[in-house]
Amino acid sequence: MHQGYIIRPVAVREALDWIRNKFVSFSKQELKVEDVTNAKNCLNQIHDNVPVNLLNDFRLKMIGSINSESELREKYFRLARPYLEILVGNELAMQLRVNLSIQFPQDNSSLLPIHADTWSGDSPFEVVVWIPLVDCYGSKSMYILPPEQYNQLELAFASQSGNSSEELFQTISDQVRWLEVKYGEVLIFNQALPHGNRVNTENETRWSMNCRFKSVFTPYGDKKLGEFFEPVTLRAASKSGMGYKLPEIL
């Protein structure tokens, strides 16, 4: 992951299709729409059925619905498991709730200004597993600042003090890399690198999910094990060790 991210085919396509079909079903129930021809068109064109001023309420309902599904976290993990075990380790902690972004065309109310998650207290040992539910390309996707360019920014970071996030973005706008991630692919990226999105100037809506993973035994930031993360692949010796108590001597 020398470039700060990898893009690979999801490990279990059936799990991804299950997740997307759930969102189509939730959308139909919420909007009381029945004439959906296919999942791709339903999600890409959802802006035809949801007013922009109701977008955040709609998104929160979708997040609540998908996270109420008991199978979600296991299926989401399976999408990226072989890559996570290579990049992060085989004893992993997973974020308790999976997040969802929905970005309408030409809408500036759903922007994520340039940031690195570590700037707000996340552990540098975390990675983000980013799953598109539609093809994401151009301004319909996200951008990331590659490591080499970030190292240069870091050296001059003090000079950015007092600048807004927009001013910061403008200083590096020609250095960020826009990522093309198709449905059926998974993006895993280093969330310590600056990233974000801009106004979606394509004619389709972006749907993407994201969830953080880290090794259970690496340092935590503000988001702790049991509060924000939960182990998903502990080995037998680790389970035994974590439950061990030294005998009391009377």
Q: pLDDT by residue (tens digit) across 183-230? A: 999 999 999 999 999 999 999 999 999 999 999 999 999 999 989 999
Does residue 158 surpass a pLDDT of 80? Answer: no
Alpha-carbon distances of 93 from 82, 96, 215, rounded to whole Å? 15, 9, 6
**How far is it, in rounded angstroms, from Cα 122 to Cα 214?**
11
pTM for the structure as a whole? 0.93
Domain 5-230, second-level architecture: Sandwich (2.60)
The model's confidence at residue 41, banded by pLDDT at 50, 70 and 90, is confident
Q: For the chain, how are helix, strand and coil distributed in percent, rounded to 5?
A: 40, 20, 40
Cα-flanking dihedrals φ and ψ of residue 104, to 5°?
Answer: -75, 155
**How far is it, in rounded angstroms, from Cα 103 to Cα 202?**
10
- Cβ atoms of 130 and 181 closer than 8 Å: yes
What is the per-residue pLDDT across 16-40, written as a single tens digit (0 to 9) for each?
999 999 999 999 999 987 765 677 7
- Of 118, 119, 144, 120, residue with least CA distance to 130: 144
